[in-house]
Structure 1
Amino acid sequence: MRKWNRAGITLPPTSVTEPHLPALPSPCQTPASLISPALLHWAACRAEPRHTPAPTLHARSLQATQLLCSIEHPALTGMLLLLLASALSCWGQEADPFPLPALHTFTMQLLAEFNRTTVQFLGNASLDGVLTHSLQGREASQHLPLESPDQWEKTKRSLETYLSYFEDIVHLAARERNVQYPLRLHCTLGCQLFPSGTSQGFHEVSLSGEEFLIFLPQRPPNASWELQRPKENDPLGPFILKWLNSFPQTTSHLQAFLKTQCPDFMRKHPWRDSSKRRDARSHTSLVLGLTLGAFALAGLAIGIFLCTGGRT
């Protein structure tokens, strides 16, 4: 059964059961003791050198942003802060009161848990219900040959470099800010292509089991974020809202990616023809960028939470 958001747009299911990797449960319903055995713990924080001043949080966050956008990390480029939000984004044609089933669906899920000394990740991505990628701890796996072995190794190294860098930010923030742990992030992201040729994107994220922001790509003049469930005396929400709406990577770039590039990928992908379902020869950089970019940027999103400590 499909559900409807407050704008009257039909939403896809928020979880997908993969053939090789179980669907990620809601973090508010999953004790940490059940999640941890399936994940790899990040190593303890490396101490800052005593003979040099420790970099500030602002400087480290800025360096992480530059790292993501550098040409050495193409899988992460153009997706800056993509997962810093909670709730759904949808667009396309006006909602049909009797919507047809999607012809093709790309879905990515990520579950992240942040404690004072560890950061744990579990994720997966699927195309038409077929598992394409998974992430456990720092280890990303490609389950279908969407990239050549050499290119995939380069992509993995880029992701590992980012995760190591982000680990320093997390622990630096933990030392300098009074952060309340644990923090849990559960994301579902992707797009659908319908038989009529129209498309619909979705982006749902909960922070510690609660909805937070919603992305509105159709709002004129520019796509923007808003608080989905505003709270009184909430310093974090307005801060993040202002931050997100200040960057093209999190507004116009995100809108173009979800509204155009993701559906175009599925229109052109050879799997669209059922007779070629085992042929994955082209247009693979998009799914890879979406998958690994979202994995890494979820970390940067929580980095902002940690660095602000809930204060503007």
Structure 2
Amino acid sequence: MDPIRIAVVGLGKIARDQHLPAIAGNAAFSLAATVSPHDPGREGVAHFASLGDLLYGGPAIDAVALCTPPQVRYDLAALALKRGVHVFLEKPPGATLSEVVALRERADKVGVTLFAAWHSRFAAGVAPARAWLAERTIQKVSIVWREDVRVWHPGQAWIWEPGGLGVFDPGINALSILTHILPRPVFLEDAALSIPENRAAPIAAELRFRDTAGADIHMDLDWRQTGPQSWNITVETDAGTLKLSSGGAVLTLPGGTEHNEDLEYPGLYSRFANLIRGGRSDVDIDPLRLVADAFLRGRRESVEPFND
């Protein structure tokens, strides 16, 4: 079977650190081109300043991975779908729920694959956590997701603009895990968003959810953490406590702790290849819907200005 010819659009940190190595390590794909108006690309790989230049004048491709900021992703995805090209959406899949739903409907209509790629769901501890919790009664959940924005997103102005999500850019990773491992639906009850005076998006947030059985879920997000970073989800159940740490890579159950290799992006690309070969899409909007609910219902609190 011939490899899937894929182009990577947007060559920032996530593309270079994760996407390009994952593609290189998966025989189902071949890197056909890269696209960026600001980056010269990789030696030996066709490079274009825009996706239009590639689609209308470049080598033939079967799929694109969109690693751009979410605010510009809809038009790029729509253009690719129009040309019958499969689309991998880096998280979050879009700047709004409506545009992601529109893309999903368009992909179904033209018969190509659209994949909303929640990478944290592929962390090593997530699948066994989901399986263990399926047979338990959830009593309480605590999420602490704190990191240093200066380390992970230095000088990235787009992330502070409307649609950039602010602290929910990392926080949505936790929500993607939460909505995947809990056996019942989750909804927001209350939220407080801390927004710097000079920014449009929050730098911290405190949220309270509950599931449809009444289990309380508390979430603490902060982008001002220095020193060790915190990416932890703790679930108290009738059979003891489960903890996912290191962003889901480490799973602790009442019987002990499992440390496994980080295979998030290789897992994503295996999933994408399987979806393409099977003629299917995977566009789960639940994590983005919870973020939208936070902006819809959350109280906004002005805090001191933030500068990189």
TM over 0.5: no
Higher RCO (Cα < 8 Å, 6 or more apart): 1
Q: TM-score, normalised by structure 2?
A: 0.26
Q: TM-score, normalised by structure 1?
A: 0.26
Name the one with the larger strand percent.
Answer: 2
